[in-house]
Structure 1
Amino acid sequence: MAQKKILFLTGDYAEDYETMVPFQMLQMIGHVVHAVCPEKSAGDKIITAIHDFEGDQTYSEKRGHYFVLNASFADVQVASYDALMIAGGRAPEYLRLNPKVIEMVKHFATANKPIAAVCHGIQILTAADVVRGKRLTAYPAVGPEVTIAGGHFEAVNVYEAVTDGNLVTAPAWPAHPQWIAAFLKVLGTKIEL
């Protein structure tokens, strides 16, 4: 398996599972994953949020774990990365306001490099104007943003993912098995059992 270098974008109050699980899983497989957040450096912490589906009209939110970043946002050279992964949660709503984040996302889209985003992480893609003409999914509340940004929103089961070319999206963390498997396929990662 060819090792890939993946840029992982997260931030304060990103969803806990949507940060921890993909970060650890991609490393376990042997990929290099650099977790970054604007205005933070390697060794800095973010605090995550736990979003759960408990039968209410929307998800509930609880304080999550601390997550230690392993790379510095200011040092990122996007051309050196093979792929981009974006965590969901509340972080994307403010991360998309950072011009360098938008510039980074546009690089990956223009270069046709693999991009994986989950839940509200798709808000960063819509802000970067990289979903036009693409089929994708997101947390249902983000669906109108996808449509306004010119994407084709697919309302799928919370356990499903949608792949369109180099773009792999999912509505929330229950889709991790399908979402991460689809991303690995786009990356060209083969796992032999």
Structure 2
Amino acid sequence: MSAKKLLMITGDFTEDYETMVPFQTLLAMGYEVDAVCPGKKAGETVATCIHDFEGDQTYSEKRGHNFTLNATFADVDVAQYDALVIPGGRAPEYLRLDADVIAAVRHFMEEGKPVAAICHGAQILSAAKVIEGRTVSAYPACRPEVEQAGATYADIAIDGAVTDGNLVTAPAWPAHPAWLSQFNAVLSADASRAAA
């Protein structure tokens, strides 16, 4: 069986760890991952930011690395992908305003394909109106949006993750071990169903 093909939709000021770590980890697991950003082409970069928890009332934000895209958003045919990854950070604030991003997210959710979203990635899920009746984790500041979209907010530890059917969500980058492990389990189960 060929490797599953995953689509990662990201953008400028995406969270550094929530983009780079999943991208590299999923590649190391043997998945093919295409990272795209609306308005940008393969070989171009998105700026990242680093969010940290330093004892203040909210996270701090610092400039991160440049992340190189390896595919072109305008060329993407979502039907050719097996799963979707949505990192957090600032990018979801504006990505959720892009009709093509919303259409892509709806495709994956309506087809029951595996979807992983972390932190502020829930802003895109909420805007796409695809989480009604689901249990969803996100950064705590996104709780109102998750609940307004008709989902149950999973109030879990910052290093936890929650799986609801095809959807795997987590509150922030400390959850990578749980989030990526649960996403891998959903991807593996999906592969087993497809092979049957």
Provide TM-score, normalisation by structure 2.
0.95
String of CA shifts for 1:159-179, please: whole Å, max 9, x gaps: 000100000000000000000
> Partner of 1:129 in structure 2?
129
C-alpha distance in 1 between matches for 2:118 and 2:128: 15
Q: Which amino acid aligns with 1:53?
A: F
Q: Gaps (5+ residues) in structure 2?
A: 190-196
Q: Superposition RMSD on alpha carbons, in Å?
A: 0.9
String of CA shifts for 1:28-70, please: whole Å, max 9, x gaps: 1111000000000000011100000001000000000000000
C-alpha distance in 2 between matches for 1:18 and 1:181: 14
Alignment of 1:18-167 (within 5 A): 18-167=18-167
String of CA shifts for 1:63-86, please: whole Å, max 9, x gaps: 000000000000000000000000
> Partner of 1:170 in structure 2?
170
Alignment: residue pair count: 189
Overall identity of the aligned pairs, in %: 62
The runs of at least 4 consecutive aligned structure 1 residues that moved more than 3 Å come to none
C-alpha distance in 1 between matches for 2:84 and 2:16: 18
Give how far 1:2 is off.
5.2
C-alpha distance in 1 between matches for 2:38 and 2:45: 12
> Partner of 2:12 in structure 1?
12
C-alpha distance in 1 between matches for 2:124 and 2:2: 28
SS of 1:188's equivalent in the other structure is helix
